[in-house]
Structure 1
Amino acid sequence: MSEEFLSQEEIDALLGGDSNSSSEEQKLEVAPFDFSLVEHIKKGGVPGLELLLERWIKIYSEEIRRLVPQINMVTKESVYITRFNNFMSKIPLPASYSIVSMKPLKDNFLLVLDSRLVFVVISVMFGGPAQPFKIEGREFTKLETRIIDDIVKISLSTFQHTWKDVYPVEFELKSIELNPALARIVSGNDRVIVVECTMDVDGYEAPFFFCFPQGMFLPIKELIFSEAVFAEKDPVWEKHLTKKLLKTELKLTLELTRKNFFLRELLSWKEGDEILLDISKDEFVKLYVEDKPKFWAKLGKIKDKYAALVVDMINGENNGGKREKSGTEPESGREKSGRISQGMGGSS
């Protein structure tokens, strides 16, 4: 009868009785997970920049065809936000990294040309098929570097032209790097806005990229992160606004001369006293608009009323912002009168 019963070891084996030891082994295999290592890709979120790029592609497509007539189409594939390290790790080598400043914005951005784009462009330019060369881990030659330089210059000149109607910027090509370690515009964990584009060269599609630091556009975030600024203008509202603007009232002040007096002299004044201004009709005086010097003028008279003839504009604060010498004349005035007035203010 004893042979019909199972031993305790056999029962534990069938029922998983040694569960404590196996669970401990499973627990040892579990390791903490670092969520910071996961690539976070956020698509969209920069509608203003996307609309700007759509405008740029139309201009760029026409200009780049003058260099490479075999280019059929340039398209914007996607715009997304990711970490800088994640973006750089996905670019196959060799690649061209153009570091560009965008004044008055502080940070630099990257224009990255994939090696497949460079090789296929060179191939079709010299009568070859629309296929990239075999890379074999080599760097770009002098000829390939020259083609890269031409593509980059056309890209930046057309991109700057597109910005002209939105925000005045000036692009400056800092350098073209072939080593990704020398193209670090931000730290590895910083977020960047990546614009992925493709260029169709005789049926072969090759990628290139823009990489902008996310904080680069903070001074103009209302332009980049909103599409309202690119909305079409309402001609009726524009006409109404112009009409209102032209009816705005402004205070004009004509500064005739400027003099210094002691307090005891002012206290001795009485009704009927005369103050000599020592100014002639040929001298230039300043015309103020809302307490800001804007024009040079000459004194005159129309019928029985005094008048001022505007002869020039005052450019900048250095020329007209300081009121110590109100009679400082423009160059044309020095030739005509040769005199500089001292002055005291009067209102028109």
Structure 2
Amino acid sequence: MADEFLSQEEIDALLGGGESTKEEEKKDEIAPFDFSQVEHLKKGGVPGLELLFERWVKVYREEIRRLVPQVGMITKESVYITRFNNFMIKIPMPASYSIVSMKPFKDNFLFILDSRLVFVVISVMFGGPAQPFKIEGREFTKLETRIIDDLVRVTLTTFEKVWQDVYPVQLELRSIELNPALARIVSGNEKVIVVESTMDIDGYEAPFFFCFPQGMFMPIKELIFSESLFAEKDPVWENHLRKKLLKTEVRLSLEVARKQFTLREILEWKLGDSFVLDVSKGDLLKLYVEESPKFYAKLGKVRDKYAAKVVDFINGEGDGRGGKAAESGGEEPRGTGKGVGGSS
């Protein structure tokens, strides 16, 4: 009869108890938490840039149809902030990465054409259907590269045109890369502003992207991060402001000569010493507005007063037109006068 009863060890095994069972339980390992992956995608936050792209797609749609008449609609899908690496790994290969400088901003931005868009454009341009080719990981051919170049230049031309209503910029295509490793405009962990758009070609929608460093637009953050980018101007206030500016008085000063002396020479100066300025009648002198050199001028005389005739602009400012004489009272080397805003 003793054989019919279970031992204590057998009972513990059946019930899942016992010290041996507890010892065999494995503790889950604690994995490190990567804080860099938190908030890797943030939509919105740049309303001014969104408004600018809304206006751009309308201009771009008309221009791109001259190159590809089959283009139906161009849509700005979304604007979001993410990390550069997280964005780049989502772009299927092959892809076209155009590195573009945007003066006066210091950073470059990327204009990215998805391979599906390139292949569909080529297909319809040669009478084929609006369907992408089989990619199979190959690189773009010379013909495809030529089409990419045409698409990029139309895009940048229209993009620069739209910016003129907001802030004067000059776009320059630095290079078109096919290797994403050569298109790193920022470090992988830095945040970028991504503008995702789609182009409809005979019913087939293909994506393309703009990628801007987040700090690129900090000098004009009041515009880019504002919802009043294209707000209607008040003509009454604008006219009032113009009148105020034109009545603003500024100080003009003419630099006749500039010389360097040592401290020993200055300490040896005495009453009656004279200095040769080496200035001739035809020399170009700098005319300052407040503390900034703005014009090249020639020294002259009008009746009993010294005068400076503006002959050109410094650093390409203005259009280089000749100007009227700016009179200065007295006979000091650095005469001053009064001027108002407007053409000189």
TM-score strictly above 0.5: yes
Question: Equivalents in 2 of 1:232, 1:52: separation in Å?
Answer: 14
Partner of 1:72: 72
| DSSP 3-state at the match of 1:207 | strand
Determine the structure 1 residue equivalent to 2:146. Answer: 146
Identity in percent:
67
Instruction: Tell whether the 8 Å contact from 1:121 to 1:201 is kept in structure 2 after alignment.
Output: yes
Out of 81-90 and 241-250, give the one that drifted further: 241-250
Q: Which residue of 1 aligns with 2:221?
A: 221
Look up the match of 1:274: none
Cα RMSD for the two superposed structures: 4.0
Q: 1:252 to 1:312 in 2, by over 3 A?
A: closer
Distance of aligned partners of 1:214 and 1:308 in 2 relative to their CA distance in 1, 3 Å threshold: same
CA 115–332 in structure 1, closer or farther in 2 if over 3 Å, else same: closer
* Alpha-carbon distance between aligned partners in 2 of 1:182 and 1:254, rounded to the nearest angstrom: 50
Question: Is this contact kept in 2: 1:286–1:297, CA < 8 A?
Answer: no
Partner SS state of residue 233, structure 2? coil
Instruction: Determine the structure 2 residue equivalent to 1:91.
Output: 91
CA separation in 2, counterparts of 1:85 and 1:12?
54
Aligned residue number for residue 247 of structure 1? 247
1:337 equivalent in structure 2: none
More helix by share: 1
Correspondence for 1:166: 166
- Cα distance in 2, alignment partners of residues 154 and 166 from structure 1: 20
Partner Cα separation in structure 2 for residue 184 and residue 286 of structure 1: 43
Task: Quote the Cα distance in structure 1 between the aligned partners of 2:127 and 2:172.
Answer: 33
Q: 1:77·1:196 contact (CA, 8 Å) conserved in 2?
A: yes
What's the counterpart of residue 30 of structure 1? 29
| Residue 52, structure 1, aligned to residue 38, structure 2 | no
Q: Report the CA distance shift for 1:15/1:190 in structure 2 as closer, same or farther (over 3 A).
A: same
Task: Measure how far apart 1:310 and its partner are.
Answer: 8.3
Supply the distance in 1 between the matched residues of 2:79 and 2:322 (Cα, whole angstroms). Answer: 54
- Give the Cα–Cα distance (whole angstroms) in 1 for the partners of residues 291 and 242 of structure 2: 23
Distance in 2 of aligned mates of 1:71 and 1:219: 36
Structure 1 stretches lacking a partner, 5+ long: 267-282, 320-329, 334-341
CA contact (8 A) 2:310 2:322 kept: no
Q: Deviation digits for residues 111-150 of structure 1, max 9, x if unmatched?
A: 1111110111111111111111121222111111111110
* Counterpart position of 2:17: 17
Show the 5 A alignment for 1:183-202.
183-202=183-202
1:120 and 1:15, CA in 2 relative to 1: closer, same or farther beyond 3 A?
same
Aligned to 1:316: 314
Structure showing greater radius of gyration is 1
CA distance in 2: counterparts of 1:221 and 1:251, whole angstroms = 32
Instruction: Work out the CA distance in 2 between the residues paired with 1:56 and 1:23.
Output: 67
What's the offset of the Cα at 1:313? 5.3
Rounded Cα–Cα distance in structure 2 between residues aligned with 1:34 and 1:291: 55
Deviations, residues 178-232 of structure 1 (Å, cap 9, x unaligned):
1222222222222211111100001100001111122222333333223344432
SS in 1 for 2:80: strand
Partners of 1:61 and 1:309 in 2: how far apart? Answer: 55
Kindly provide the amino acid, as one letter, of the partner of residue 35 in structure 1: D
Note if 1:180 corresponds to 2:180: yes
Q: What stretches of structure 2 of length at least 5 have no aligned partner?
A: 258-268, 274-282, 325-330, 338-344
The SS at the match of 2:136 is: coil
Residue 187 of structure 1: SS of its match in structure 2? coil
Relative distance call for 1:31 and 1:164 in structure 2 (3 A) is same
Structure 1 Cα separation of the partners of residues 255 and 146 of structure 2: 61
Show the counterpart of 1:276. none
Q: CA deviation at 1:57?
A: 1.2
